[in-house]
Amino acid sequence: MGHTARVNDRTPDPAASRQERKQRTRRALLDAALELLEEQGFSSISLRQVTRTAGVVPTAFYRHFADMEELGLALIDESFRTLRAMLREARTGGSMDGRAIHNSVEILVGYVHEHRNHFRFIVRERFGGVASLRQAIGGEIRMFGSDLASDLARVPALDRWRGEDLRLLAGLIVSLMVQTTEEILEAPPSDLAGYEETMSRARRQLRMITLGLGEWRVAGRADATTAGSRG
């Protein structure tokens, strides 16, 4: 809440190269935007507010971004880049089963919790007023759903499912994860009990979904396959 780390604060740090300092200012602009986005929507924060918060003159902005939209896209990229890497890593190791799906959900929710400001921005702008940001965020979430669907295809219990049904199932899970992300962001970051509560709710809701999967008729006929979610 308003520590507002400005980029200069008049300690020029002679050890830093020109390039390093430029990066630092860029960082300050991104952080300033994230700070302002705690309170406002992206389309209502101004370039001048951002530079003011970053401790820099308005015109300095143009050394880093062509306009606010470009800054917004940079924030989206930042938000998802590390998460994608973490999930890719989690998914390469070992076999794919119900446990692995649960793991991915835990990784995502933990990640969101640790990057609250980024994801508050993401949730706000997912259907916000700026079309290019909406598209970029939509693309990331869709990609996330596709990855999940192909993971699900590797779960033994689901091996006879049609691709279309796997995508529906993935959509259901993504929908739960979006909902959970929103819940995480509603509580203050210090509220660890609330965080655990949300996690626990998400786990049980995920289990509610997976429990019934054994009942789903694969080919459209009533041949009930076995094996629900097995821990």
Partner DNA sequence: TGTACATCAGTGAACGCGCGTTCACTGATGTAC
Q: Is 58 in the site for DNA (CB under 7 A)?
A: yes
Part of the chain binding DNA (CB under 7 A), chosen from 61-69, 123-131, 149-157, 218-226: 61-69
Q: Is 60 in the site for DNA (CB under 7 A)?
A: yes
Q: How many CB atoms lie within 10 A of CB 215?
A: 10
Sign of CA dihedral 65, 70, 74, 79: positive
Q: CA–CA separation, 190 vs 138, rounded Å?
A: 29
CA-closest candidate to residue 84, choices 107, 100, 106: 107
**What number of chain residues touch its own copies (CB under 8 A)?**
47
Token match 């091996």: residue? 159
Q: Is 210 in the site for its own copies (CB under 8 A)?
A: yes
- State which residue, 24 or 134, has the beta carbon closest to DNA: 24
x/- map, 175-214, DNA, by CB under 7 A: ----------------------------------------
Find which of DNA, its own copies, none residue 17 binds, CB within 5 to 8 Å per kind: DNA
- State which residue, 22 or 142, has the beta carbon closest to its own copies: 142
Q: CA–CA separation, 75 vs 70, rounded Å?
A: 9
Find which of DNA, its own copies, none residue 19 binds, CB within 5 to 8 Å per kind: DNA
Which H or E element spans position 214?
A: none
Q: What are phi and psi of 226, to 5 degrees?
A: -95, -170
Length of the chain: 231
Q: Is 18 in the site for DNA (CB under 7 A)?
A: yes
Q: Is 172 in the site for its own copies (CB under 8 A)?
A: yes
Q: What are phi and psi of 45, to 5 degrees?
A: -90, 145
**Under the rule (CB under 7 A), what is the footprint of DNA?**
7-8, 12, 14, 17-19, 21-22, 24-25, 46-49, 52, 56-64, 67-68
